[in-house]
Structure 1
Amino acid sequence: MSTIRFTGVGHQYGGGTVLEDINLTLAEQRIGIIGANGSGKSTLARMINGLVLPTRGTVTVDTLDPARHGREVRRRVGFMFTDPDSQIVMPTVAEDVAFTLRRRGLSKEETTEKVDAILSRFGLAAHADHPSHLLSGGQKQLLALAAILVGGPSILVADEPTTLLDAFNLRRVGRIFAAMDQQLVIVTHHLELLRDFDRVILIHQGKVAADGAPAPVLAAYQKLWETLDEAPLPAALSGAGPR
């Protein structure tokens, strides 16, 4: 399992503080990151593969700093965005998955074998030659995930990957995440996904507000909303306390 470290990390943007004094060591297999919109949780996640760099402190992935070893880190860390259209780049499904392997020195036969295998794994084999952008929303998210995992990363960071999914595809992606061998760091508002995770981290106003097993951290998130007298929880957050 990889070790991701945040040491004295802070980030400022547009004159405001997004993250402040973050100190975390992430070594568990499945880690959830939660928090209100604008809390800094997505910024935290994007630092793991260098999409965002800290303005203070350091982030390392197995001792590699994304700011200095970006290529090596991105080989280890796959990143999944909320909207799959933002990372689908090739005209057909098979071509999009093969694009990840373009610089791996593989033969055409080896590339085809890997592409076919992962499309079968995600139920997309029948769509191999279909236009990528004509897939359904759920199929696009599966394609984005296949295109990441075919490259063999040891870590998957997913930034609200289920936000645009219906209930059926939400459950499907949840099952895929549960069966993955890769270390998983997921930012999400769908708290049910996190019930059996190894660890959940609550980010509030740019700081770590709670960190630990899912049940107490999810309960802390519920209490935070109640304490702040915010609007009622969105439907995706209902029942956020421990069972």
Structure 2
Amino acid sequence: MSGIRLEKVTVSVPTHDRERRILHETSLELTEHRVALVGPNGSGKSTIARLLNGLVRASTGRVLVEGLDVARDGRDVRRRVGFVFTDPAAQLVMPTAREDVALSLRRTHPDKAERLAAADRVLADFGLEGFGDRSVHGLSGGEGQLLALAGVLATRPSILVADEPTTLLDLGNSRRIGDLLLGLEQQVVVVTHDLDLAAQCDRVLLVRDGRVERDGDPSAVLDHYRATA
């Protein structure tokens, strides 16, 4: 079974005297190749994205990914769903670029020499040939985000979720990362403030105040967002 389903999902967090609802009851089926989530800061769009691989747990309802229940089958879901954060520093954990990609390949390449060689091939595929010995702390913002994507995609997930992957980048690198995301064979769900990137997706969801306010054709949803922002 392909695609993503949210079935009457809510998310609440405890406060000192009560629970605060950060996502109101939401039901969705996402089967399009490219889906964008847009909306103001704090609207709940990142919460929806993080539900898809269990980074956030549903308070009520179910999240299904390719027929698997995220709450029950979390390990299998995480093998299918790659996640890219806004700041690559949040997921670049090894000293060098080669070692960081190799970390993602431990399950598929148990032999260390083969794993490191495979990591170099992945780096080359992402335009980072020759970066193997570079410190992850010495990379530019665009290079770091490319490396983060390379590490996630090295595991060959069927779905990629990207949470504001261009927010910290300059215009040129934003376009580079956006073009890469749009060209992937995987289903991509991207949280973004880049409305030009969202406009190139197959479907756009406008999330506001913990609810999906608009959902559908990119031009119609984005026109509504611009008119009501």
- TM-score, with structure 1 as normaliser: 0.89
Query: Does residue 122 of the first structure (1) align with residue 126 of the second (2)?
Result: yes
Identity %: 51
Match of 1:12 in 2: 12
SS of 1:185's equivalent?
strand
Match of 2:105 in 1: 101
Q: Aligned partner of 1:205: which letter?
A: D
Match of 1:167 in 2: 171
1:2/1:154 contact within 8 Å kept? no
Query: Does residue 79 of the first structure (1) align with residue 83 of the second (2)?
Result: yes
* Structure 2 gap ranges (5+): none
Q: Kindly state the Cα deviation for residue 204 of structure 1 after the two structures are TM-superposed.
A: 1.1
Per-residue CA distance 1:19-63 (angstroms, 9 max, x = gap): 111010001110000111111100010000000011011101012
Q: Aligned partner of 2:106: which letter?
A: R
Q: Kindly state the Cα deviation for residue 72 of structure 1 after the two structures are TM-superposed.
A: 0.4
Q: Aligned partner of 2:181: which letter?
A: F
Comparing 132-141 and 113-122, the one that deviates more: 113-122
Match of 1:237 in 2: none
Give runs of aligned pairs for residues 204-223 of structure 1, distance below 5 A: 204-223=208-227
SS of 2:130's equivalent?
helix
2:96/2:134 contact within 8 Å kept? yes
1:10/1:55 contact within 8 Å kept? yes
Match of 1:176 in 2: 180
Per-residue CA distance 1:39-90 (angstroms, 9 max, x = gap): 1100010000000011011101012111111110000000000010010010
Q: Structure 2: how far apart are the matches of 1:210 and 1:33?
A: 10
Q: Out of 31, 39, 64, which is 1:60 matched to? A: 64
Match of 1:40 in 2: 44
1:2/1:155 contact within 8 Å kept? no
Query: Does residue 148 of the first structure (1) align with residue 176 of the second (2)?
Result: no
Q: Kindly state the Cα deviation for residue 151 of structure 1 after the two structures are TM-superposed.
A: 0.5
Give runs of aligned pairs for residues 132-143 of structure 1, distance below 5 A: 132-143=136-147
1:30/1:198 contact within 8 Å kept? yes
Q: Structure 1: how far apart are the matches of 2:149 and 2:42?
A: 25
Q: Kindly state the Cα deviation for residue 106 of structure 1 after the two structures are TM-superposed.
A: 3.6
Q: Aligned partner of 1:11: which letter?
A: V
Q: Structure 1: how far apart are the matches of 2:129 and 2:136?
A: 13
* Structure 1 gap ranges (5+): 226-243
- TM-score, with structure 2 as normaliser: 0.95
Q: Structure 2: how far apart are the matches of 1:130 and 1:71?
A: 31
Query: Does residue 49 of the first structure (1) align with residue 53 of the second (2)?
Result: yes
Q: Kindly report the root-mean-square deviation, in angstroms, between the aligned alpha carbons of the 2 structures.
A: 1.3
Q: Aligned partner of 1:218: which letter?
A: L
Q: Structure 2: how far apart are the matches of 1:158 and 1:190?
A: 13
Comparing 111-120 and 207-216, the one that deviates more: 111-120
Per-residue CA distance 1:114-156 (angstroms, 9 max, x = gap): 3122211211111111111111111010000000000110000
SS of 1:126's equivalent?
coil
Q: Structure 2: how far apart are the matches of 1:196 and 1:81?
A: 21
Q: Kindly state the Cα deviation for residue 104 of structure 1 after the two structures are TM-superposed.
A: 2.8
Q: Aligned partner of 2:210: which letter?
A: G
2:10/2:23 contact within 8 Å kept? yes
Q: Kindly state the Cα deviation for residue 107 of structure 1 after the two structures are TM-superposed.
A: 3.1
